[in-house]
Amino acid sequence: GAGVSQSPRYKVAKRGQDVALRCDPISGHVSLFWYQQALGQGPEFLTYFQNEAQLDKSGLPSDRFFAERPEGSVSTLKIQRTQQEDSAVYLCASSPHAGGGETQYFGPGTRLLVL
Amino acid sequence: GESVGLHLPTLSVQEGDNSIINCAYSNSASDYFIWYKQESGKGPQFIIDIRSNMDKRQGQRVTVLLNKTVKHLSLQIAATQPGDSAVYFCAEKNSGYALNFGKGTSLLVTP
């Protein structure tokens, strides 16, 4: 069956540009997560959605980061005025369980490089 | 703050040997633990999980051991194969929504 998909897989942006990263979770999954993974590090939590509600955005590093999931399925992570330190892999994960956590199924990630 | 960490950043084993990857955690409130495998260019893939009311759980060729007394988690892979080469992460969950990942151990299986 289809897993979590993310697009684009790779994105090169000039510093100061805005970018939008898309996540298509597994159909019917209630929970959706965004993580940021720096090179050689483990994923770090950014934000969590339960259906269309953003219940936790405590991991977003600055107000330049914004995420939405308006219809409770596809989600978009937007980064405004990108900086070099935003370069990382952005992972999306979904879970059939409400309340987050537990078994999360990850997408392949979007590798963002800010020049 | 509290964190999850790994003892060894890299591990090299010969094909057919057993592998043991260790992880220390410091949040005593954590009640759920997961091991993920991440191959180059891919997202983390679920391997096995364990709840805090258990001390051992077995899957296909993998076993996770949990020692709550010393806050230690380990992943044992039996008869390691070249396809097991990847970075392995332990992750823990407490009362929040997110998984808290460690830094990862790179496993290299040599023929």
Q: Which residues of A touch B44 (CB under 8 A)?
A: 43, 91, 106
Distance CA B15, CA B87 (A): 16
Give the pLDDT of residue B27: 87
Q: What is the pLDDT of residues B6-55, one digit of tens each?
A: 444 899 999 999 999 999 988 888 889 999 999 999 999 999 999 999 99
**Considering CB atoms only, which of B34, B99, B103 is closest to A41?**
B103
Interface test with B, best of A102, A110, A111 (most B CBs within 10 A): A102
Report the phi/psi class of residue B47: left, alpha or beta, with left for phi > 0 and alpha for psi in -120 to 50.
alpha
Q: What is the pLDDT of residues A22-33, one digit of tens each?
A: 999 999 999 999
| Cβ contact A56–B97 (<8 Å) | yes
Report the phi/psi class of residue A97: left, alpha or beta, with left for phi > 0 and alpha for psi in -120 to 50.
beta
Q: Which residues of B touch A41 (CB under 8 A)?
A: 103-104
| Cβ contact B98–A105 (<8 Å) | no
Distance CA B31, CA A23 (A): 28
pLDDT category of residue A99 using cuts at 50, 70 and 90:
confident
Chain A residue nearest residue B90, CA to CA: A42
